Structure 1
Amino acid sequence: MRPDGWHLTEDIDDFLTRAGDFLRSRPALHNTPLTYIDKLRTRGADATVFGRLESGGEVRAVCHRTPRGFLNVTPLPAGQAGALADHLAGLGRSPSGVIADHDTATAFARTWQRHTGAAPALFWRSRLYRLGTLVPPRPSAAGRARAAGEEDQEHVVRWCREFCVEVAENATADAIDSGSWSDTRFADKHFTFWEDPDGVPVSMAGSTPMVGGMVRVDPVHTPAHRRGRGYAAAVTVEVSRAALTAGATDVVLFADPANTTSNALYQRIGFVHLADFAGYTFSYGAPERGGRTSTPQRGARPPQGEQTAWPGGGFPWQGFAVTKTDGIVITPLAERPALASRIYEIVGAWPAFVPHDPVAAALLGRVPEDFPHYCVVATDGDRVVARGLSAPFDAATTDGRTETPDRGWDQVLVWAFHDRHGGHSPTAVSALEITVDTGYLGRGLSYRMLAALRDAAARQGHDVLLAPVRPTAKHLEPRVPMADYIRRRRDDGLPTDPWLRVHVRAGGRIEKVAPASMTVSGSLAEWRQWTGLPFDSDGDLDVPGALVPVRCDTTHDRAVYVEPNVWIRHGTNRRAT
């Protein structure tokens, strides 16, 4: 009998011989490693690392490394996250991040940070459902199901790309755009259309090949203009029924916990919540000032997973101390100074390279202390659940300044501290950051925080709140010039970008592009740590999460990222406030 503990191997056959029964023992909970490892076995792939935790001669958990360097882990017994971190650290292995059930991923991320100093950033949350008793909707949507054939390939690829754009799965969208469909997670799936009575496809669902009696439904996509008619429910039911007919014992799917519509739909047709999952990236660079691990969300941008509009549009502008029925209270930080030391308890979910902007590293952590009247904090009981930061600056009396400088976020932050210490009276105020606790996403809290920042500016005598906004979907199209991107409009005249659209609905006016709002420069080794990419060729490189390409210079061992933002102007309703 082998000793207790973790055992690693690159031999997939040996791994499956020893751990296959464990994986198949809970196929719903282990659906991701089952499908991934089966794909490796059947198609072949570059060598990767597999691990299993043995105790008393039995396998208790497994892990594997993904092609992008992430560690995927099955649920770990209590206390074993530390043992796995110890083992990997001792071997000198440095994963790009971790993906697992929420408790395992969070415990490993925290333990790994203690071992290595690598800052974790939450980038993904999902809810796993397993089919109980299938309940077809009554009445069913008009139309019928049809299996997609070879002649539908172009249609399937286009809708899969649309799905990726909507859920910010930029790496897969990039692979599709580059012609690498066969390398995506969709390539091995079976697709089914729901067609309307005229034979027009109106919704689509994919499903994995059956492994260990398990089939995963993924993706489910209905074009925006076709939604609300029951098509997604109809096609999901048909795909699930087909899986059961084929002999599946477990039919599962993942859903974004912030998407209340899809979660309610899946439960109505018989899916039962099984577990919550999370993914963290690790940044191995130096920690930010004050040791905080969150990343700045410039221009009061929304956290990942937030809905993109209030029902009915606009913001619920209310009194400054906003108390909602959910118990969350938003107040000026100046009124609760004791919370200043706690507002960075919230972990952000943004690209690992963002904190390495030198202006952010030097100054952002000082904003709550120096400008508490311009900052707001949200609490739920004793828990800090969100923070919002802004800062004032002089844009009128100092030569060469404007309210909307080309250097955007970096520039106003520098001016704010220069003016404070130089005795200049502020004439303008800019939003800098909103961060919402990941457990409070999906409640519209980021919008309430933006409303509170607007009211904070009004109470300090400002008629306008400026914001250098980071469009939420721009990273999916890094090669598109920002000036062209912000001109895109939907049929209703609103911007196509979700976060720009929210600002405009709220009364904001797009002013101009800030072409150099933030700059991050680092050695190639640093960029490899931040991104997990090789950075081994000269020129412009597309990096996940970056709004524009990163310029790489191997001769000088340097890569530079210059991020554009979009200046938006909001009135503050100062008289009403």
Structure 2
Amino acid sequence: MVECIIDTGRAYVMNSNRSLQEKTYIISGKEQLNLLDKISVLRKKVWPDFLRLSDEIIFKVYERYPDFQISLLNEERELIGIANSIPLTWTNSFSELPNEGLNWIMDTGLKREQNIRSANTLGALSITVAPADRNQGISKILLHYLKRVAITHDLMSLIVPARPNLKSMYPLIPIEQYITWKKEGLIFDPWLRTHCSLGAHLINICHRSACITATIEQWEQWTGVKFPNDGDYVIKEALTPVKMDYMNNLGTYIEPNVWVYYPI
């Protein structure tokens, strides 16, 4: 069990499993522009090369929507967690959220003119936690603070195209089947289980949440794996196989996520 108490600029985390109190600091807004180098380093430690948003894109998110980004620092002022999000306008039923998931949030927030004042929903892009600081409730702190950000800006909901991380161990299992698995009566996937424990509702699958296409050579550089023929290949950290097409010199990866909805 993790208990969170957050005030202006600081978050205090009590982890009962370790019987200690760890002091952490929350930073939001333009002050984070001074942390972009550290943010880049942390993201490169956590996200696989083929899936990680480029620095150019993520820095644009910070520049355009600084108040909707969260940085978490430990007592030594080391960056240990990041939450990225974009304000959106959504007027349809949440059951109709787009199949494109993460790609849709990025497209809406960066490629189109988005009026923050008319936004009514906060769309999360990612939660990033330093490897050495996992399993201490950091992701819950970040999600809690994203909800606080939504409240501050009078947004009515938080939506997340959640990446069920443990599915990378079962890349050949259809996502429709995987999300029905249970462990001791609870959802099998730990990240989806975390969302549910915080009061979220699982809405539906966004089958094309992340779509990555690149040359076969680029895929070999990203993964360190040789792809000698056409076909579907299982690669480390991918939720589904990547398809290689030698005639067009293309590798294509289409990742399904799960739409998660938090009423505010």
Closer, same or farther: CA 385–361 of 1 in aligned 2, 3 Å: closer
Counterpart of 1:548, as a letter, is T
Bigger relative contact order, structure 1 or 2 (CA pairs below 8 A, ≥6 apart) = 2
Q: Is the 8 A contact 1:393 1:416 kept in 2?
A: yes
Instruction: State the match for 1:329 in structure 2.
Output: 25
State the 1:363 CA deviation.
2.7
Q: Is the 8 A contact 2:202 2:259 kept in 1?
A: yes
Identity of counterpart residues, as a percentage? 25
- Counterpart selection for 1:428 from 118, 121, 125: 121
- Counterpart selection for 2:133 from 433, 436, 440: 440
Instruction: Report the secondary structure of 1:377's partner residue.
Output: strand
Q: Is the 8 A contact 1:351 1:545 kept in 2?
A: yes
Instruction: Report the secondary structure of 1:536's partner residue.
Output: coil
Instruction: State the match for 1:352 in structure 2.
Output: 49
- Counterpart selection for 1:509 from 176, 183, 201: 201
- Per-residue CA deviation, residues 156-200 of structure 1 (Å, 9 max, x unaligned), is xxxxxxxxxxxxxxxxxxxxxxxxxxxxxxxxxxxxxxxxxxxxx
CA distance in 1, matches of 2:9, 2:89: 27
Q: Is the 8 A contact 1:551 1:560 kept in 2?
A: yes
CA distance in 2, matches of 1:336, 1:561: 32
CA distance in 2, matches of 1:338, 1:530: 28
- Counterpart selection for 2:57 from 344, 349, 363: 363
Instruction: State the match for 2:15 in structure 1.
Output: none
Alignment coverage as a number of residue pairs: 253
State the 1:526 CA deviation.
1.1
> Which of the pair is proportionally richer in strand?
2
Instruction: State the match for 2:71 in structure 1.
Output: 377
Counterpart of 2:83, as a letter, is G
State the 1:540 CA deviation.
1.5
Instruction: Report the secondary structure of 2:171's partner residue.
Output: coil
Q: Is the 8 A contact 1:522 1:559 kept in 2?
A: yes
Q: Is the 8 A contact 1:511 1:568 kept in 2?
A: yes
- Per-residue CA deviation, residues 82-101 of structure 1 (Å, 9 max, x unaligned), is xxxxxxxxxxxxxxxxxxxx
CA distance in 2, matches of 1:419, 1:403: 20
Structure showing greater radius of gyration is 1
- Counterpart selection for 1:522 from 181, 190, 214: 214
Q: Is the 8 A contact 1:542 1:548 kept in 2?
A: yes
Q: Is the 8 A contact 2:87 2:116 kept in 1?
A: no
- Counterpart selection for 1:548 from 229, 240, 245: 240
- Counterpart selection for 1:389 from 67, 80, 84: 84
- Per-residue CA deviation, residues 433-460 of structure 1 (Å, 9 max, x unaligned), is 2222334334322221121112111111
What TM-score comes out, normalization by structure 2 length? 0.85
Q: Is the 8 A contact 1:419 1:425 kept in 2?
A: no
User: Where do 5+ consecutive residues of structure 2 fail to align?
Assistant: 13-20
Aligned structure 1 segments of 4 or more residues deviating by more than 6 angstroms: none
Q: Is the 8 A contact 2:50 2:219 kept in 1?
A: yes
CA distance in 2, matches of 1:342, 1:373: 18
CA distance in 2, matches of 1:463, 1:368: 22
CA distance in 1, matches of 2:37, 2:171: 36
CA distance in 2, matches of 1:510, 1:367: 26
Instruction: Report the secondary structure of 2:235's partner residue.
Output: coil
CA distance in 2, matches of 1:507, 1:317: 17
- Counterpart selection for 2:162 from 462, 469, 474: 469
Counterpart of 2:64, as a letter, is D
- Counterpart selection for 1:534 from 226, 235, 255: 226
User: Where do 5+ consecutive residues of structure 1 fail to align?
Assistant: 1-309, 573-577
Closer, same or farther: CA 451–423 of 1 in aligned 2, 3 Å: closer
Closer, same or farther: CA 436–410 of 1 in aligned 2, 3 Å: same
Instruction: State the match for 1:483 in structure 2.
Output: 176
CA-atom RMSD in angstroms: 2.6
CA distance in 1, matches of 2:250, 2:111: 29
Instruction: State the match for 2:4 in structure 1.
Output: 316
Closer, same or farther: CA 506–421 of 1 in aligned 2, 3 Å: closer
Q: Is the 8 A contact 1:516 1:562 kept in 2?
A: yes
Closer, same or farther: CA 489–442 of 1 in aligned 2, 3 Å: closer
Counterpart of 1:490, as a letter, is K
State the 1:489 CA deviation.
2.2
- Per-residue CA deviation, residues 276-321 of structure 1 (Å, 9 max, x unaligned), is xxxxxxxxxxxxxxxxxxxxxxxxxxxxxxxxxx35xxx6364464
Q: Is the 8 A contact 2:71 2:81 kept in 1?
A: yes
CA distance in 1, matches of 2:246, 2:64: 40
State the 1:467 CA deviation.
0.5
Q: Is the 8 A contact 1:333 1:340 kept in 2?
A: no
1:116-265 alignment runs, 5 A limit: none
State the 1:392 CA deviation.
0.9
Closer, same or farther: CA 511–429 of 1 in aligned 2, 3 Å: same
State the 1:513 CA deviation.
0.5
Q: Is the 8 A contact 1:348 1:435 kept in 2?
A: no
Counterpart of 2:68, as a letter, is Y
